[in-house]
Amino acid sequence: MNEKATISEASDPPQTLAGNARGRLEPPAFAAVDYEGLWFSKLTRASKPEFLHHHTIILNGATKAEEYGELIHWDSHPDAEEWALREGPAYFSKQFREMLDHREEMLPDSNGNPHPVLQPYRINTLWSRVICNMVMHAYSNLQAFTILYGKVISLIELEQNAHKDIDPAKDLPAKYFGHLMLFKFFLDQAVEVPLEQLEHSSFATPPVRKHFVRMPPPDPYTSDMNVIPRSQKKITGVDKQVMYLIHTLWQDSWGLFIARLPLTVDELERLIQSDPKADALISGHVAKILGDIAIIGRCLKQLELYQPWAAQFDQAIDSDIELYQKCWGRIRGNYGQLNEAFLRREFDEAARLAEPSGGKFTYPYSKRRTKETVDALRRAEANLDIVWAKIKGDPTEPAPTEEVTLPAVQAEPATEATQPTFAVDAKALKVFRTLFFDPEVTSTPGLIPWNDLLYAMAATGLKIEKLYGSVWQLTPTQLDVERGIHFHEPHPMGKIPFETARRHGRRLARAYDWHGDLGILTYSAAIAPTSPCMRP
């Protein structure tokens, strides 16, 4: 299968796959999933199921055609009682400006006045809030996904050990079931991190700012804000649909309970993909937040599909909620301390240094190396180092220690790691020469079309999978590592800027030790641009 087919399949709707599965498996294999799909209509009473007291209809676990759909009385089933009971300066500057553009302080109040913090003598207070939120969000996202990743690794190991004991007709092994419950509870808690970010960014984002205003603050020094729709401007059409779904995610807890997170995210993604007007309402910053929410939503969806046991998950958690809260509190203890530390810390001095005006973070990475450009690069890096030194706090000088002479040890010759060599065509090679530094390239690389990046990744044997929102997952199939990597599709423009491409290259280098100057990538003129990729 060639790269074009791989990329096309990753983007195609899954109707063909679903039809193939339905045709090859018996109806009981889909019974629990189909029933779960009726959640929304059941809860809103749009569908009214027929009810027969003290009876159950057999859908899951039937092995014969005559058993599927059979009605049995509770007393006739042997388990009757149980059934009844159960990264760089340019990036830093860009992030700072994005966070600033999405602050609610940027909205005018209902009288048309700017927020008091925008006054010249108080502007540093706004910068302080921006740098605090920017750093805190970065750390909180990292910690939340680190916790979830650790639980996934534990679940994989437990599932492999208990694989022989997993039978749809039986309960799951107790330890495996308990860790599944923990994972679901952790997902429900971890999603609050990006939802909080969405709450404070969605209505102040530039594409929808025209629909909202702030209430005048009762105190010019308060950081609390109340955003309301403009009274003279009614939100209609696709704008109303997008705002309703985003509002459901972060504020309407009852609506989110009825629709569930995966379904709400699915509907928002469908709307964004099908209507260009809806897509234009989502800024790149909001798209990244929605991508994080979508990843957690996909995990929750997979748990919902883990039938027939998924039907017990919520009940099992509710029956011992204090235990799960205690486990979450213990594992997120450092996060709570981190959050409190950021709230207590004064960022005024760091904010003055972090505010990107005056070209202090200008990073001409794409320009030819001259004395002027090298000096500018070094100056931007030095300025960023100063900012982080202020954020972390000035380190104390270490106490002097006596010099100790260690016995001489003969160093072993370093073994050079063997890197795979891929034969790729000119189209893929052009992408890699942009991702990685190549001394042979003297011209300034331009923008990379998103599909060209996917094409180049497929040429190295990476399996391409579109997740939710702007998130794509690339998984190695020909390397000696199993770690996948996520990239965000650029939004709203479908091309990758040079600085972002180099950042992707650095991430690939950290994940797979790929370096353009190590001869990993070679061009074979014998390969046609549309031919399948060669094996390393």
> Is 510 domain-assigned?
yes
Residue 489 has pLDDT above 50, yes or no: yes
Q: Which of 283, 318, 344 is the last residue of a domain?
A: 344
Phi-psi region of 461 (alpha: psi -120 to 50; beta: other; left: phi over 0): left
How much is the average pLDDT of 446-456?
85
Total-model pTM: 0.67
Q: Are 347 and 132 in contact (CB under 8 A)?
A: yes
Q: What is the pLDDT of residues 89-122, one digit of tens each?
A: 877 888 888 888 888 888 888 888 888 888 888 8
Q: Are 469 and 287 in contact (CB under 8 A)?
A: yes
Statement to judge: residues 363 and 436 lie in one domain: no
CA atoms of 492 and 497, how far apart (whole Å):
12
Statement to judge: residues 251 and 196 lie in one domain: yes
Across 56-60, 126-130, 282-286, 345-349, least confident range: 56-60
Statement to judge: residues 202 and 318 lie in one domain: yes
CA atoms of 138 and 338, how far apart (whole Å):
12
How much is the average pLDDT of 327-343?
69
> What is the number of domains present in the chain?
3
Statement to judge: residues 104 and 188 lie in one domain: yes
Pairing outcome for strands 462-466 and 471-476: antiparallel
Q: What is the pLDDT of residues 15-52, one digit of tens each?
A: 565 666 566 666 666 666 666 666 566 556 566 555 55
519 — pLDDT class (breaks 50, 70, 90): very low
Task: Choose among 349, 284, 182, 294: nearest CA to 493.
Answer: 284
10 Å CB burial of residue 233 (0-12, 13-18, 19+) is: exposed
Higher pLDDT, 194 or 466: 194
Across 141-145, 175-179, 334-338, 401-405, least confident range: 401-405
Q: Which of 304, 320, 344 is the last residue of a domain?
A: 344
Statement to judge: residues 190 and 212 lie in one domain: yes
CA atoms of 470 and 366, how far apart (whole Å):
25
Q: How many CB atoms lie within 10 A of CB 291?
A: 21
Residue 195 has pLDDT above 70, yes or no: yes
Name the DSSP letter for residue 122. G
- For residue 497, what are the domain limits? 1-27+418-536
pLDDT of 403 reads: 42
Mean per-residue pLDDT over the chain, rounded: 74
- Name every residue whose Cβ is closer than 8 Å to that of residue 517 and which is 6 or more positions away in sequence: 436, 437, 438, 439
> Is 42 domain-assigned?
no
- Name every residue whose Cβ is closer than 8 Å to that of residue 233 and which is 6 or more positions away in sequence: 210, 211
Sign of CA dihedral 195, 196, 199, 200: negative
Statement to judge: residues 375 and 294 lie in one domain: no
> Is 351 domain-assigned?
no
Statement to judge: residues 14 and 103 lie in one domain: no
Q: Residue 111 is encoded by which pair of tokens? A: 């009288």
Task: Choose among 360, 282, 285, 354: nearest CA to 98.
Answer: 285
> Is 89 domain-assigned?
no
> Is 455 domain-assigned?
yes
Statement to judge: residues 425 and 370 lie in one domain: no
How much is the average pLDDT of 122-133?
85
Residue 178 has pLDDT above 80, yes or no: yes
> Is 397 domain-assigned?
no
Statement to judge: residues 296 and 426 lie in one domain: no
Match 């205003």 to its residue by tokens.
213
Pairing outcome for strands 227-229 and 485-488: unpaired
Statement to judge: residues 149 and 179 lie in one domain: yes
Statement to judge: residues 140 and 246 lie in one domain: yes
Statement to judge: residues 157 and 246 lie in one domain: yes
Match 């040429």 to its residue by tokens.
459
